[in-house]
Structure 1
Amino acid sequence: MSEQQPLAGPSQRIDKWLFFARIFKSRTLAQQHIVSGRVRINGKPGKQPSAIVRPGDVLDITLPNHDMKLVVRQPGTHRGPYEQAKLLYEDQSPPRQARDALTAFEQAQRLPGSGRPTKRERRQLDRLMDGED
């Protein structure tokens, strides 16, 4: 028989907990974030979706627009409404930077190649396609 360490209280897989806490829309999405190293458990990267979380664990989650710092309060049993999901964790995240706090220049910027081309870009494309250059 193999020796197993006793569990200190209730525990749950990290991918299930993130799904039940409504941090991610699906377990698959949660698993992808965990494997890519964007979820840290108590300061250490959660390398596998099967990693165990217990009450008191601190999760650092890196999302595209902001970072979250959550303290696990209890394991979840199912994915319920937001009001129930809030009871699973304590949010210690820094406040999000409000869009109003951004300068007008930062708000107007867009990623190169995204959206509709500008007049200048359209003219350059026309010259390229027509062979004038």
Structure 2
Amino acid sequence: MVKTRTLAASIVSQGQVRLNKVKIAKPAQEVGPGDVITLAAHGRVRVLKVLAIGTRRGPASEAQTLYEDMADPAADAS
């Protein structure tokens, strides 16, 4: 995804993010477990299912346990 909150806010403002199939325009949109986020970044489309909400800002390895990447693994291999 992106490395900073500023970059995340930028892609939301540019209309590159959907929450449960609905395009969002404000970076402060609340999400929760079960929500599906679709975003276009770095030349690819990512589809992520929120599994849990973190209690603190932590390392990327910790953040990766909070979502499921719904992408087709075969698509990444090409």
TM-score with structure 1 length normalisation?
A: 0.52
Select the structure that is richer in helix: 1
The alpha carbon displacement at 1:87 in A equals 0.9
RMSD: 1.5
Question: For the pair shown, which has the larger CA radius of gyration, 1 or 2?
Answer: 1
How many residues get paired? 76
From 36, 41, 56, the equivalent of 1:78 is 56
Identity fraction in percent: 36
1:9 is aligned to: none
1:40 matches 2:18: yes
Select the structure that is richer in strand: 2
CA contact (8 A) 1:66 1:96 kept: no
TM-score with structure 2 length normalisation?
A: 0.85
2:34 is aligned to: 56
Q: Secondary structure at the match of 1:31?
A: helix
CA distance in 2, matches of 1:27, 1:57: 19
The alpha carbon displacement at 1:97 in A equals 5.0
CA contact (8 A) 1:58 1:70 kept: yes
Pairing 1:1-133 to 2, within 5 Å after superposition = 23-94=1-72, 95-96=75-76, 98=78
Report runs of 4+ in structure 1 exceeding 6 Å deviation. none
Residue type of the partner of 1:33? I
